[in-house]
Amino acid sequence: MLIKLKKERTHGEDRRLALWLATSAGVLNAIALGAFGFFPSHMTGNTSQLSSEVSATDLSDILFFSAIILSFVTGAIIARITVLWGITHNVRLIFSQVLFAEGLLLGGVSLYEIYFHSFATNREIIIFLCGLMGVHNSTSTQLSGGRVRSTHITGTLTDAGISLASVAVAMLRRDYSKDSAAQKSQLKTHLTTLFSFITGGIAGLLLFRGFGFNAMLALGIMLVLVAAFSIARISWRVRKVRAAVGR
């Protein structure tokens, strides 16, 4: 799921990726809404809000929304540069390592909020979470070749609509070609992403109401464990293969 091999990725791998990353994105998005009244992944809305603030000439809010957008883009850039470095140096675990680092950073900011929460730092925390969302979305997008965008629900809904229309037309034409089967698989992947994000959002609000910032800490720990499991599993398989070749 977190390893990009030379062979073509299956839709099953992408759906597992969507289940973990889109769900976690939905959870974090909802927790941020409950804690700060703000969606850190909603860049369309944030950009629209920036336009509104520009027309209102509120410099403080203009700078804030500009920082949010810049943070998200910077997170995506950092993830891309890191992945390119990993590909160049043949580091097969690079995606797992990026997710591991993201989990650690999320755990760190969660601990800060648990022990030192202050309304005075809310904007800085929101900007930081937007950066993590940029990393998160960039990682899933690169790993799946654009088929899973864990935070970009507007794009996913558009892609799902396109896939659904293609499947409907193929059914009307009684088209049983490989292209038709591929569109059906892609539609299932998009629906999995949407369902995961929505379910994660519902769970995130409930968890935050029940456990506060401990829920965000648990999410960070979960991301670390998923990445660590992938790293350990692949490392064990590589050692096993090398040992078999060396006999």
Please say whether the beta carbons of 137 and 193 come within 8 A.
no
Residue 4 within a domain = no
**pTM confidence score:** 0.87
Look up the domain containing 109 and give its range: 11-148+193-246
Number of structural domains in the chain: 1
Does the pLDDT at position 31 exceed 90? yes
Predicted confidence at residue 9, as pLDDT, reads: 75
Q: Is residue 45 one of the residues assigned to a domain?
A: yes
pLDDT digits 0-9 by tens, 173-204:
877 666 777 888 888 999 999 999 999 999 99
pLDDT in tens, 74-127: 999 999 999 999 989 988 899 999 999 999 999 999 999 999 988 889 999 999
Condensed to tens digits (0 to 9), the pLDDT of residues 38-78 reads 888 777 666 666 666 666 666 788 888 889 989 999 999 99
Query: Is 181 domain-assigned?
Result: no
Question: For the segment 148-180, what is each residue's pLDDT rounded down to a tens digit?
Answer: 888 777 778 888 898 889 888 888 887 766 677
DSSP string, 73-99: HHHHHHHHHHHHHHHHTT-TTHHHHHH
How many alpha carbons lie under 13 Å from residue 215 in its C-beta half-sphere?
A: 23
Asked, for residue 43, whether it belongs to a domain, the answer is: yes
Write the DSSP symbol of residue 119: G
Residue 179 lies in a domain: no
Q: What is the DSSP letter of 177?
A: S
Backbone angles phi, psi at 148, to 5 degrees: -125, 115
pLDDT given at position 244: 74
Domain annotation covers residue 174: no
Instruction: Give the Cα separation of 204 and 196 in Å (integer).
Output: 12
* 214 found inside a domain: yes
- Does 37 map to a domain? yes
Cα separation, 102 vs 45, in Å, equals 24
